[in-house]
Structure 1
Amino acid sequence: MTDRSGEFVSLDRDRMPLDEKLYRLSEDDVAFLKLHTGIRDDDELKQHVLEVQADAYQVGMETGDYHEHVTHTIVFVKVYPYPCIRYFMFTHTGIARHFAYGQFLNLGRERPDEIFLELPVHAVSDGFPQQNCVAADLERKYWELGHRLFKSTPESFPVAFVPGDIFDQDYLASSVQPVYAQPNSPAPALSGLASLTPLRGHPALPLPGSMIFGRHHSADVKGVRDFPVPDGDKTSNVIQVFCHSPQTWMVLWNGKVFKEGTVEVKVELQEEPVSAMAPPERKLYVMVWSVTRL
């Protein structure tokens, strides 16, 4: 999720235009898309993905200003050209290769009330109960485009979706301390959620085995790194990105977010192929991690 209270630094569609040459899907990604879309021809599948990508790159937030003596509202649309859309990351099936993925699927099989909160569903295809899943993203349009990408409908894939900004207090009320005790109330009906606040304590019940897992850009040493931003075929702009190291990431979860000794943190640091977004030292790292209740 992305905090929209600030500005994207130099990230706009003019400087980061869509580029068909970036369409480089793995065999697993192609097989997954063919299975769920029913499209068998490679060229037809590529065209389908490109059309959805182009529409996703136009998604924005409507803002406006209303005045009492004006008969209409002026509406502005601010478009968010997410790099993950430009680089076709929405087609990747990397979650299935996460080292904790098998552990996660077992939770869905063994605990009938386990809730999976997805922030961006491949997992349903691999057996996690879809009635226990809830997805979240900034705009409902992204979820609708997901249905279009996989040629599904809310009826054929009835997973609950709750649009909103994870940094908005009205969407997810924060607290000083994490939840350690089991909630007094039963889990809410996922289909009726208007925010994520009613889920507090439910997706991560204080039961052994409950988990959080993910992957993101990282570094071998904690600190701020300069990342070039593509400007067409050039990389003349730079943004600064704070990166954790595996060691500081483990300390963050085991001792700061949760009481030390109450969770097990596993981390793998993987070096990615050099790309246009690689930092000046020409090494790009991704941290793959999981946090499991003990």
Structure 2
Amino acid sequence: MTFILALQGALNQGVLWCIMALGVYITFRLLDIADLTVDGSFATGGAVAAVILVHGGNPVIAILAALLAGCVAGFVTGFLLTKCHIPAILAGILSQIGLYSVNLRIMGKSNIPLLGTKSLYDWHYDVGISTTQASIVVGILVTVLVVALLYWFFGTEIGNAIRATGNNENMVRAVGVNTDMTKMIGTILSNGLIALSGGLVAQQQGYADVKMGIGAIVIGLASIVIGETIFAKVSRNFIVRLFSIVVGSVIYRFVIAIVLQMGLSTDDLKLLTAIVVAIALAVPYFLARNRQLATYKRLTSEVDKKNA
């Protein structure tokens, strides 16, 4: 029974955090930018949502405000990247550092408990299900909505321009597309989704903390890599790619839950995540290298036979 509850909790975390992973995917894969704002903007979403809730605000308004706050954080990163010509990694680091102080200002302290406040999951009392089950339902609904909107948006002219910018920026610029604008839109959208996830997670866990975003970028990358690895031989349709990230996020949480049930200390989770991401990123390289070596040996063998 304990194991079943652990898996249920893992599914709950997976469908909430996958929205953050979708945000990371936009910059990391589509724009080919290593945006490290993630840890800060995730906490910003939680902070904004928490402050609104403790003042009696509507949970939906709190989530939308978190989304907007994340968009502002993404705008700052995009501005540093495109207008100040600061390298992407450094621009993200600067935004992340600045957001730590901003989040403290928003909350007024390092931690805000949400006991006794309204949340998106309160309706579970009326239907007789647990908070975790209600959170899973809300997470799935929001995830489906986000995936549908992303699929639609990246099928538009602007969305295709953003994707093309990540593939070949020089070519896109040559045909008259403002790549600074596409990067700006990408970072805004990415961090908006990340903050939205932060707001949902804060309501689910019952508190917002200034450090709740630490390691979020690694979790996002782990979800992306796991999903891409599983769906590597499946159709590369864009909707499949988005779906793979959702699946990757859930599987990552399942793995964590299973490992914890086996007795791993929670202190080692970040190390485990880092190892998983490192292995997942390295495996494709070594597989490609082995294929190249095999091809080289086959060709040299054929040449030797002909010469003989």
- TM-score range normalised by the length of the shorter chain: under 0.3
Q: TM-score, normalised by structure 1?
A: 0.23
Q: Larger relative contact order (C-alpha < 8 A, sep ≥ 6)?
A: 2
Greater helix fraction, Structure 1 or Structure 2: 2
Q: TM-score, normalised by structure 2?
A: 0.22
Greater strand fraction, Structure 1 or Structure 2: 1
